[in-house]
Structure 1
């Protein structure tokens, strides 16, 4: 019995040890040694702490609820589980097979509120946005409402904060034949102005402003199955946007991942843009993985290198490729 306890302690210690780098496609343990459950998520930075919000797909969750998890990190590598910050039953008497996806959290400096946007749906026909709010980044968040932004359908949503601090949301508007970039209201509690309708059949939209040029990318409409993600550029969010080009070789299908968000790390020596994507496993969703990699981006061209272990220095913004074990 003592030997069993000893071995269990050793195993827990090993699995929970500090991560020295990011290993795309592998189990990503949090500081407790558990695989991170933050799928389809987004990253919000408050001072020197990054908060990662996502869909929890853990095995032991009560099926009558939908959960949004939260993790915190200072280095984008080692993440501490802060709990499930939103736990919801079906809002407004929706059917029991309702879905809650793609949580994105914005901090509003004027109201000191944390505003969470969600995709809420039933059979992927309702096509609503939802909003929940909290006074703290680690919740609890309280559901407020669901709606069709500016009267349009909304499925996958993406988050973007421009360099001037203006907050935008990206959402797929299938009947209009593309996806929209829209500005949020001053209090972030509504979608205020349509900036662009990009005529491309794309979901999982993500945007970054890099050296004065906007890069927008997303994946094709193939459900859980991966496909070649593509990107376009523009000098303004209102466009015009260039034609979409592949971010990786076609046969890799974005290395089995789907775009979730682009993270810009501005360091003392370098500004690095990170591709964050989900490797979905629909039959074993709790085992879905993540593909995070620094992008090669310059002069209007963007490329996702083949995934390999790597690390980032948050202070300098520099990344280093690690030797594979």
Structure 2
């Protein structure tokens, strides 16, 4: 009996130590992975392969080797509970960029023909003069990714990047170009390793570009060029990616500065009963980057309008595509 009680006590202790399955998303809150650690996937992007979602982002946990840059990878089937798969990329300075070199906003595409996972990221020196995209490749979603090259897409300076995969699977790179005061939507080559054509140039000085296609319209959002400091994000619409694009309008009350967040992606969840579009934003904390938070919230969208409601905890039914605020 004594041995049974000891074993039962150990089992209970183990179960209590395991993180509970999450049933809701809390915008701006600590978001633990399966180990109870706050998710480190900042400036990130998400792809869906089968029924699994993969979230890639800047790894900012404490204690990292300052000479390296890291991209993390998380996996989920419900967009609420995330499993840390490890650092998909651990990269030394690839282009002799010097101290405090920059690797930001990683985005991954899966090429069905080559069966390669292709990662793009903003690659720069500490003064943001290099202004290129870096490319790395892996055969597995969790990596390890191997650095291949860097280049300037369309021969333009490239800083903040985003990604868009259209409903037919066509991939696009979105990148901000400071000299031209706008951002580009560019088509990728067949192997996804290069940019081959300009699809659209949206002449508005915005970064953090994100795009979604919803009921016959394309919606593009972005934030003003204020660095770490949040600002009022804006959106525009077009019937085709090539444009013409409408004037930009606010997506949230101006005074909130997009609820202290910056756009990084729009996620479309198509279910059996509804389609939900989720605003995916970062709440940056420059001084304590490991504690930066994520603001995910379904948007009110349709008929050329897009609005980010006041963030509050919410639940998503991944099968039906329905959500509800708590």
* Equivalent residue, structure 1, for 2:4: none
* Equivalent residue, structure 1, for 2:194: 190
Q: Distance in 2 between matches of 1:213 and 1:251?
A: 28
Show structure 2 runs of 5+ residues with no match: 1-8
CA contact (8 A) 1:12 1:33 kept: no
Q: Secondary structure at the match of 2:30?
A: coil
What does residue range 191-230 of structure 1 map to in structure 2 within 5 Å?
191-230=195-234
Q: Distance in 1 between matches of 2:112 and 2:64?
A: 33
Q: Distance in 2 between matches of 1:16 and 1:202?
A: 39
C-alpha distance after superposition, 1:36-78 (max 9, x if no partner) = 0000000010100000000000001111100000000000000
* Equivalent residue, structure 2, for 1:32: 35
* Equivalent residue, structure 2, for 1:46: 49
How far residue 93 of structure 1 moved from its aligned partner, in angstroms, is 1.8
Q: TM-score, normalised by structure 2?
A: 0.95
Residue 66 (structure 2) aligned to one of 57, 60, 63: 63
* Equivalent residue, structure 2, for 1:77: 80
C-alpha distance after superposition, 1:118-153 (max 9, x if no partner) = 100112111100100000001000000011011000
What does residue range 133-282 of structure 1 map to in structure 2 within 5 Å?
133-282=137-286
Q: TM-score, normalised by structure 1?
A: 0.95
Q: How many residues align?
A: 316
Q: Distance in 2 between matches of 1:149 and 1:11?
A: 51
Q: Distance in 1 between matches of 2:175 and 2:77?
A: 29
Q: Distance in 1 between matches of 2:303 and 2:13?
A: 49
* Equivalent residue, structure 2, for 1:291: 295
Rg (Cα) greater in structure: 2
What does residue range 88-127 of structure 1 map to in structure 2 within 5 Å?
88-122=91-125, 123-127=127-131
How far residue 287 of structure 1 moved from its aligned partner, in angstroms, is 0.2
Q: Distance in 2 between matches of 1:162 and 1:48?
A: 18
